[in-house]
Amino acid sequence: MEAKKAPGKDVTRLSSLFLSLGFIFSLAMSIAMIEWNFEDDPMIDLRGADVVSTTEILTVPVTNPIPPIPASRPVVIVEVPPDEPEPDLTNPFDQGIEFPTELPTLTPPEPEVLPDTPFTLVEQPASPVGGHGAFYAYVATQLKGKYPVMARHLGIEGKVFVEFIVERNGALTDVHVVKGIGGGCDELAVKVIQSAPAWHPGKQRGQPVRQRCTLPIFFKLR
């Protein structure tokens, strides 16, 4: 298909010319910038000049602080009147004071009388002679071969709780059963405690007192 534009009005035919002119102009500007002579900034050389400082140095004198001298205190002199005799310090007890020659007799306090009612808890509890182990060994020896016949036939066994009072002299009194098992075991337990040797009595405030004790005695069939 043929172009309908007039050959004289076609602008594309001059594009190569304009492109060449642009390259030439750019090249000329680059050469001009390279060859341009720029003037250097002036510099001041101070290597040979004398530098004078304007700083003023002040000399501060060194002073040693001296503490202020305290003001002198006035001395107070106390004068003793002539009519007042000076005390004699050689014998401080010879000042006209009479001391009693006989000292009062101090009566020692009477010992506290503790009540006769048996104690349950005391400072030093009553204990068997030789300890509780020796006492139970004694009870076992006394019960050996003496198991009640009725309790043996009925198969009765258990603990019998025996209560008694340890007197001030260690004797065991008022022995009775507080909890038994029957079958003749209760009576045998009371008999064994009544025949037991004396104990060490309990003490309250260093004095022997009556103490109520309870011990279990065990009955067992073999």
Domains, the chain, ranges and CATH? Answer: 127-219 (3.30.1150)
Burial class (CB in 10 A: 0-12, 13-18, 19+), 56: exposed
Cα-only R_g, the chain? 66
Q: 190 and 212 in contact (C-beta within 8 Å)? A: no
Whole-angstrom Cα distance, residue 101 to residue 98?
A: 9
pLDDT score for 192: 94
Average the pLDDT over 65-94 and give the result: 63
Q: pLDDT tens digits for 94-115?
A: 556 666 667 777 777 666 667 7
Per-residue pLDDT averaged across 67-96, rounded?
63
As a whole number, mean pLDDT of residues 23-41 equals: 74
Q: How confident is the model at residue 168, as a pLDDT?
A: 93
Per-residue model confidence (pLDDT) at position 216 = 94
Residue that wins the pLDDT comparison between 147 and 48? 147
pLDDT at residue 221 is higher than 90: no
pLDDT greater at residue 1 or residue 134: 134
Highest mean pLDDT of the ranges 2-16, 62-76, 132-146: 132-146
Q: What is the pLDDT confidence band of residue 195, given thresholds at 50, 70 and 90?
A: very high
pLDDT, tens digit (0-9, with 9 covering 90-100), for 34-54: 776 655 555 555 555 555 555
Location of structure tokens 């030789």: 130
